[in-house]
């Protein structure tokens, strides 16, 4: 029986009860019948409101993620018919949707390779073959789609955070992005051995396909329509400009707007010399020096707000200007926010002055260091993150004292 028979009530509240019922393992058909009016009239904004209420009730992100695919599938045909102004060519969202179409085409081709591989062998351990080689290359190319998620998290999300009253549901999507990345790394590891395990490969590919296709639905049925309704034309123009800094995934790079193609140095750079206590230099020289250093640097102030990042030639981690003014907690997936807060609290209380981590990224050994900044009185003024590819440094032996040695 539809809740309409008892009065419409709060549509989002009905959707919340439906989603909580799914999370708690209640009968899906009965829930769909009970809340049919809300389901059939669902909008993208309702989805965000529903997730925000879930989070406010303390529902764990993992519990939301485990059932969001099922929930979106129920809402799919109604969200698909939701009227919204589709993006036109030459816009940020148009490029993002074009990347999704290219991803879907690539996944279709990959799926055919997997089918062929399963037909070619009855053995669990795969032997080298032309089909396996093609599949390995196809999976490797999926790593390039990381650019798409980077743009969403570092360009679109900051704009939405400024526009939405409660942007926490974006953290759920970011967490799913992280799951997609993890699944892809697992696939790469499975295929990196001489005789990959076919059972493991099929299982992980199924997981990856579910996550990747599901993310396309979530972006285009919920986030993009709502972004169109809440962001201004100038917001989208700025996001498009920033997208050229990070690049494009699976599509040919569009022709940049004229103002980007003819970009000149900032008007803020002049002949003024800055007194740096141990010397003086022009602002232009300072910028050039910071960008010449073979490290990524990001600075947050004492309020945990990102205020600066360097722009070296070979960046390790994606950054866009949209990150400026964003809290550092919103620059990380929810799974790692507690570590960020723990480190900053230790800096703030003077328990630590630095911390170091090291990870491997695409065969590169990366050192990530954090330094507490304090003024002359010892008051905490912020944190400097410094990341460096130290692969070559780790391999150094002996001495080099002459040029050309």
80 contacts: CB under 8 Å, gap ≥ 6: 221
**Distance between start and end Cα atoms, the chain:** 82
Pair 327, 198 in one domain: no
Cα 268–Cα 270–Cα 274 angle in degrees, nearest 5? 95
pLDDT at 18 over 90: yes
Pair 168, 27 in one domain: no
The sign of the CA dihedral 326, 87, 245, 336 is positive
Predicted confidence at residue 185, as pLDDT, reads: 93
pLDDT (average), residues 235-252: 93
Pair 75, 108 in one domain: no
d(CA 135, CA 139): 6
Predicted confidence at residue 10, as pLDDT, reads: 87
Pair 100, 172 in one domain: yes
Residue 288 lies in a domain: no
Predicted confidence at residue 2, as pLDDT, reads: 37
pLDDT (average), residues 376-392: 93
d(CA 68, CA 223): 14
Which of the four pLDDT bands, split at 50, 70 and 90, describes residue 321? confident
Predicted confidence at residue 262, as pLDDT, reads: 56
244 vs 263: which has the higher pLDDT: 244
Pair 165, 232 in one domain: yes
Pair 105, 216 in one domain: yes
For the chain, what is the domain count?
3
d(CA 116, CA 384): 50
Domain of 145: which CATH number? Answer: 1.20.120.520
Closest CA to 330 of 96, 183, 93, 160: 160
d(CA 166, CA 217): 21
Pair 49, 171 in one domain: no
pLDDT at 268 over 70: no
Residue 389 lies in a domain: yes
pLDDT tens-digit map of 23-75: 999 999 999 999 999 999 999 999 999 999 999 999 999 999 999 999 999 99
Q: Domain range for residue 54?
A: 3-80
Token match 């037909």: residue? 119
Predicted confidence at residue 21, as pLDDT, reads: 96
Residue 24 lies in a domain: yes
Pair 203, 127 in one domain: yes
4 vs 327: which has the higher pLDDT: 327
Which of the four pLDDT bands, split at 50, 70 and 90, describes residue 405? low
The total number of residues shown for the chain amounts to 405
Residue 255 lies in a domain: no
Last residue of a domain, one of 80, 102, 126: 80
Predicted confidence at residue 238, as pLDDT, reads: 93
Predicted confidence at residue 277, as pLDDT, reads: 80
Pair 63, 102 in one domain: no
Pair 210, 73 in one domain: no
Residue 110 lies in a domain: yes
Last residue of a domain, one of 230, 246, 262: 246
pLDDT at 371 over 70: yes
Last residue of a domain, one of 49, 80, 111: 80
pLDDT (average), residues 5-12: 56
Which of the four pLDDT bands, split at 50, 70 and 90, describes residue 274? confident
Residue 280 lies in a domain: no
- 128-132 own/partner pairs: CB under 8 Å, 24+ apart: 128/194, 132/191, 132/196
Predicted confidence at residue 5, as pLDDT, reads: 33
Contact 156, 239 (CB under 8 A): yes
97-111, 219-233, 257-271, 340-354: which range is least confident on average?
A: 257-271
Domain of 352: which CATH number? Answer: 3.30.450.20
pLDDT at 264 over 70: no
Phi-psi bin for 325: left (phi > 0), alpha (psi -120 to 50), beta? left
pLDDT at 260 over 70: no
pLDDT tens-digit map of 148-173: 999 999 999 999 998 888 888 999 99
177-186, 239-248, 274-283: which range is least confident on average?
A: 274-283
pLDDT tens-digit map of 82-106: 999 999 999 999 999 999 999 999 9
pLDDT at 3 over 50: no
Pair 239, 150 in one domain: yes
Residue 261 lies in a domain: no
With 0-12 / 13-18 / 19 or more C-beta atoms within 10 angstroms meaning exposed / middle / buried, residue 379 is exposed
Pair 50, 142 in one domain: no
Predicted confidence at residue 320, as pLDDT, reads: 82
Residue 62 lies in a domain: yes
Average pLDDT, the chain: 90
């Amino acid at each position: 029986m539809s809740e309409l028979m008892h009065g419409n009530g709060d549509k989002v509240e009905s959707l919340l009860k439906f989603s909580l019922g799914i999370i708690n393992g209640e009968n899906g058909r009965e829930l769909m019948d009970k809340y049919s009016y809300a389901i059939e009239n669902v909008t993208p904004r309702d989805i965000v409101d529903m997730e925000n209420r879930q989070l406010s009730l303390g529902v764990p992100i993992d519990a939301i993620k485990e059932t969001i695919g099922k929930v979106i599938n129920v809402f799919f045909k109604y969200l698909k018919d939701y009227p919204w102004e589709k993006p036109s060519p030459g816009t940020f969202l148009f490029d993002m949707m074009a990347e999704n179409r290219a991803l879907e085409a690539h996944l279709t081709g990959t799926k055919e390779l997997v089918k062929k591989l399963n037909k070619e062998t009855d053995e669990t351990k795969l032997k080298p073959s032309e089909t396996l080689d093609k599949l390995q290359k196809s999976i490797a190319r999926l790593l390039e789609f990381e650019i798409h998620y980077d743009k969403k998290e570092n360009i679109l999300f900051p704009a939405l955070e400024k526009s939405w009253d409660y942007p926490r549901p974006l953290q759920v999507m970011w967490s799913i992005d992280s799951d997609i990345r993890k699944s892809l790394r697992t696939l790469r590891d499975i295929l990196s051995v001489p005789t990959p395990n076919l059972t493991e490969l099929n299982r992980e590919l199924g997981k990856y396909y579910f996550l990747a296709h599901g993310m396309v639905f979530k972006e285009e049925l919920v986030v993009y329509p709502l972004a169109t309704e809440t962001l201004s034309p100038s917001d989208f123009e700025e996001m498009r400009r920033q997208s050229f800094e990070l690049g494009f995934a699976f599509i040919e790079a569009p022709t940049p707007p004229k103002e980007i193609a003819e970009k000149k140095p900032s008007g803020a750079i002049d002949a003024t010399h800055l007194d740096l206590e141990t010397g003086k230099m022009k602002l232009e020289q300072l910028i050039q020096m910071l960008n010449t250093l073979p490290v990524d640097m990001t600075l947050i102030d004492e309020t945990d707000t990102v205020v600066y990042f360097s722009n070296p030639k070979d960046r390790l981690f994606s950054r866009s200007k949209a990150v400026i003014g964003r809290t550092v907690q919103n620059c990380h997936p929810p799974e790692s926010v507690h570590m960020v807060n723990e480190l900053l609290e230790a800096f703030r209380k003077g328990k630590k002055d630095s911390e170091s981590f090291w990870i491997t990224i695409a065969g590169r050994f990366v050192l990530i260091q954090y330094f507490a900044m304090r003024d002359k009185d010892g008051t905490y003024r912020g944190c400097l993150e410094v990341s460096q590819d130290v692969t070559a440094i780790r391999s150094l032996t002996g001495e080099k004292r002459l040029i050309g040695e």
